[in-house]
Amino acid sequence: MPDRFAQKLLTWYDQHGRHDLPWHHNQNAYRVWVSEIMLQQTQVATVIPYFEAFMARFPDVQALASAPVDDVLSHWSGLGYYARARNIHKAARQVVEEFGGEFPEDQEQLESLTGIGRSTAAAIIAQAFGKRAAILDGNVKRVLARYHAIPGWPGQTKVLKQLWQHAEEHTPDERVRDYTQAIMDLGAMVCTRSRPDCQACPVQPGCTAYAAGETGLYPGSKPKKEKPEKTTWMLILEDREGRILLERRPPSGIWGGLWSLPELDPAYGTEELQEACQQKLGLDCAEPELIAGFRHTFSHYHLHIQPARLTVTGQSSVADSDNQRWLHRDQALTAGLPAPIRTLLTQPEQNALL
């Protein structure tokens, strides 16, 4: 029995879907891949300018593979989830070395590439190769959770398994490319998180949640947890030439691999800052000047950032290396900084804690 779900969706898509997003033009596996990675947990409007700039700088997988990772990171600066940038660079090299520069069309081989999971692999297969594969992103989860009234939070394995099951069932053999885009568009434009426009929905007649008047119950919400509060010193170390010291952050953890300001343990008191700079960095500094601290909220904790400005008085004993660089402000801003650090350096007053 043919699945009417897909047919109705496709008819709706022809009239109302989004047909000209940047990655729909000159569509190939590389462009689909880059867009899919950028779009992970990131809204379309946010991605568009990043996608355009990224494509201009890295037009194909060879260009990306042969670029320095710092170039990739700087193009990712402000997008968040920087593991994606490290992974996309690594995966580009995998494609060149293990697959001769051509993306494999096989789901399992695609998933062997760093940063490509089940849904992203399926998106590439469907969008770039036009072959049947089921995706399950946030939009599809919402549509299917409502259509089939699946209780529970999709983060639970049991719920996720059911959703994948339905995603597979609904995916048609024909027009997979359009279907994949259609179901995401439906979730983004009609079956929205709040106030879904059920009157405009092509699959409303079969929707279990709508029939019960309970679209608001699906998908189940994530259990909430307390966000821990953390604190750190952020040092704006300025030498006699007006340059600022940047440090590369560790490859894992928050802002992994990005350039940022040197941090110091919050256990140090204000009066111990000078000494700590001498001990940990070998830098002689004048009295620290505290500037407006602020709280930055991540998805899983709050971070109190307390910036301190210190002028380096002696000869700088820190030479440029792979992990430390002295840069003038303008250069520093092009280095690929985390968004809050960029704000701190450009408009420190904006963060002021009241």
Residue 143: CB minimum distance to DNA, A: 10
Q: Are 343 and 305 in contact (CB under 8 A)?
A: no
Q: How many residues bind DNA (CB under 7 A)?
A: 63
Task: Select the residue interacting with DNA from 7, 28, 40, 351 (CB under 7 A).
Answer: 40
Q: Is 44 in the site for DNA (CB under 7 A)?
A: yes
Q: Are 81 and 41 in contact (CB under 8 A)?
A: yes
How many CB atoms are closer than 10 A to CB 354?
A: 4
The C-alpha atoms of residue 294 and residue 303 are separated, in whole angstroms, by: 8
Q: Is 232 in the site for DNA (CB under 7 A)?
A: no
CB closer to DNA, 250 vs 282: 250
Q: Is 26 in the site for DNA (CB under 7 A)?
A: no
Write down the residue that tokens 């007053």 correspond to: 349
Choosing from 36, 226, 272, 287, the catalytic residue is 36
- List Cβ<8 Å contacts ≥24 apart for 317-323: 317/281, 317/282, 317/283, 318/245, 318/281, 318/282, 318/283, 322/248, 323/247, 323/248
Write down the residue that tokens 């950028």 correspond to: 38
DSSP 69: H
Which range binds DNA by CB under 7 A, 37-45, 168-176, 283-291, 318-326?
37-45
Which range binds DNA by CB under 7 A, 133-141, 171-179, 197-205, 237-245?
133-141
Ramachandran angles phi, psi of 156, nearest 5°: -80, 135
**Strand 244-248 relative to strand 324-327, pairing:** antiparallel
CB closer to DNA, 79 vs 345: 79
Interactions with DNA, residue window 272-291 (CB under 7 A)? none
Q: 146: which 2 tokens? A: 């409502």
Q: 132: which 2 tokens? A: 């049947």
Q: Is 138 in the site for DNA (CB under 7 A)?
A: yes
Separation in Å, CA 23 to CA 26, 32, 35, 209, 222: 7, 6, 6, 33, 31
Residue 278: CB minimum distance to DNA, A: 29
The C-alpha atoms of residue 109 and residue 148 are separated, in whole angstroms, by: 31
Name which of 349, 346, 348, 325 is nearest 335 in CA terms. Answer: 325
CB closer to DNA, 15 vs 315: 15
Rounded to 10 deg, the angle between the 69-76 and 44-57 helix axes is 150
Q: Is 188 in the site for DNA (CB under 7 A)?
A: yes
Q: Is residue 36 annotated as a catalytic residue, yes or no?
A: yes
CB closer to DNA, 49 vs 59: 49
Task: Select the residue interacting with DNA from 42, 165, 208, 311 (CB under 7 A).
Answer: 42
- Between CA 62 and CA 68, with CA 65 as vertex, the angle to 5 degrees is 130
Residue 92: CB minimum distance to DNA, A: 13
CB closer to DNA, 296 vs 318: 296
CB closer to DNA, 121 vs 273: 121
Task: Select the residue interacting with DNA from 25, 108, 213, 252 (CB under 7 A).
Answer: 252
Q: Which residues bind DNA (CB under 7 A)?
A: 18, 21, 23, 35-36, 39-46, 78-83, 87, 111, 114-121, 123, 137-139, 142, 156-157, 181, 184-185, 187-188, 193-195, 221-222, 224-225, 227, 252-256, 296-300, 338-340, 354
Residues designated catalytic: 36
